[in-house]
């Protein structure tokens, strides 16, 4: 089977997966132990109100009709309205409003580990069994085991402690970069994206940064949660980067390159570096998986009004359609990333095949 056939096969396989996910959600939300009427009106609701809600939600229709309606509405992104969290508001509107904060967090949470974890791992792999290697490897092991929620709690307490120069060497996180105290903003909160503007260039909106200070504030707000959210992937990148580097350094083609008399700089950058990146690809895409789970925790602790926090609120307040819709959207993102990963693999590494 050629690699493209394999790719197409994977692509086709996502269709039944999507339907299975939707069916699972339907079973959980409509046929599960929670009564939607009780969730909206409270457990004692009876009579006319309850009947009205039942009719509005279509609960009196036959089950197969409900199922078809459910699937079509989810596939057309028509999720209906929120029950509790922001009662009456269309879910899609709430999601669009909360998405930028989560994207901003995710962007930094992927970027920071990439530029810390991979270089450290490659360094450790290039200098195996040195003191630097041991430090990096041990750090990676420890970093991977640190729970995000605990790190967040400790980090917040430490940062709050630095107020008015209370940190080591008089370090003050509030005054570091854009001053938060004088602007009277908290070190936790949702970035407001005031710096982001678009201008029309030949009738196309082109984004540009209108306010650099606002940008700096938003970066500073997101930096601690992003570092924590990316910590587990950073450790994974470090460990796998190290192994990949070690394996590639000892590969035959590197020996050949050395025998040809290439300089070590060319060998490292052209032959080793590129090949060592291949096993890191799934780590980077699986990062999205970690980010989506972790964003709930980190956003909750750092007070960021993103998708994760809204999911948490809808789950704890029993807002089932909202939780279901968000879960569906997250699943779509993951399915898309899986396809992207397969696509990239097909291009980068021709050895992948279905037989493996």
Binding site for another protein (CB under 8 A): 13-14, 16-17, 20-21, 24, 28-29, 32-34, 39, 63, 141-142, 144-150, 153-154, 156-158, 160-161, 229, 232, 235-236, 239-240, 243, 282-283, 286, 289-297, 300, 311-312, 315-316, 318, 320, 323-324, 326-327, 330-331, 334-335, 338, 356
**Distance in Å, CB of 63 to another protein, minimum:** 7
Residue closer to another protein, measured from CB, 218 or 237 = 237
Q: Which of 16, 84, 29 is nearest to 58 (CA)?
A: 29
What distances in angstroms separate CA 7 from CA 136, 286, 290, 333, 349, one per listed residue? 36, 18, 24, 18, 13
**Distance in Å, CB of 200 to another protein, minimum:** 38
Cβ burial, residue 92 (10 Å; 0-12/13-18/19+): middle
Are 58 and 65 a contacting pair, CB within 8 Å? yes
Are 125 and 249 a contacting pair, CB within 8 Å? yes
Provide the b/e sequence for 241-276 (b: ≥16 CB within 10 Å).
bbebbbebbeeeebeebeeeeeeeeebbeebbeebb
**Distance in Å, CB of 151 to another protein, minimum:** 9
Residue closer to another protein, measured from CB, 132 or 318 = 318
Residue closer to another protein, measured from CB, 149 or 273 = 149
| Alpha-carbon gap, residue 253 to 307, rounded angstroms | 47
Token pair recorded at residue 98: 């909360």
**Distance in Å, CB of 131 to another protein, minimum:** 17
Residue closer to another protein, measured from CB, 195 or 309 = 309
**Distance in Å, CB of 138 to another protein, minimum:** 10
Residue closer to another protein, measured from CB, 191 or 294 = 294
């Amino acid at each position: 089977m050629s690699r493209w056939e394999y790719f197409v096969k994977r692509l086709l396989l996502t269709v039944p997966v999507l339907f299975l996910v939707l069916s699972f959600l339907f079973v959980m939300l409509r046929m599960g132990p929670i009564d939607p009427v009780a969730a909206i009106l409270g457990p004692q609701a009876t009579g006319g109100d309850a009947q009205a809600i039942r009719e509005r939600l279509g609960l009196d229709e036959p089950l197969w009709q409900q199922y078809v309606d459910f699937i079509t509405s989810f596939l057309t992104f028509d999720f209906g309205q929120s029950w509790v969290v922001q009662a009456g508001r269309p879910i899609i509107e709430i999601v669009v409003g909360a998405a930028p904060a989560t994207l901003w967090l995710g962007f930094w949470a992927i970027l920071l580990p990439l530029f810390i974890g991979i270089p450290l791992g490659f360094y450790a792999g290039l200098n195996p069994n040195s003191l630097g290697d041991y430090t990096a490897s041990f750090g990676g092991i420890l970093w991977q085991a640190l729970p995000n929620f605990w790190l967040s709690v400790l980090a917040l307490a430490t940062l709050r402690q630095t107020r008015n120069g209370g940190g080591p060497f008089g370090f003050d996180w509030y005054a570091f970069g854009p001053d938060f105290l004088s602007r009277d903003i908290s070190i936790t909160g949702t970035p407001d994206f005031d710096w982001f503007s678009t201008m029309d260039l030949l009738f196309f909106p082109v984004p540009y940064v209108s306010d650099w200070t606002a940008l700096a504030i938003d970066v500073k707000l997101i930096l601690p949660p992003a570092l924590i959210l990316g910590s587990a992937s950073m450790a994974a990148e470090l460990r796998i980067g190290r192994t990949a580097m070690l394996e590639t350094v000892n590969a035959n083609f590197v020996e050949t390159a050395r025998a040809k008399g290439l300089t070590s700089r060319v060998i490292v950058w052209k032959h080793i570096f590129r090949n060592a990146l291949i096993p890191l690809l799934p780590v980077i895409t699986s990062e999205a998986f970690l980010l989506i789970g972790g964003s709930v925790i980190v956003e909750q602790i750092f007070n960021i009004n993103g998708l994760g926090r809204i999911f948490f609120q809808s789950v704890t307040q029993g807002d089932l359609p909202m939780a279901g819709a968000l879960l569906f959207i997250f699943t779509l993102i993951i399915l898309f990333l899986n396809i992207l990963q397969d696509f990239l693999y097909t291009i980068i590494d021709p050895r992948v095949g279905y037989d493996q």
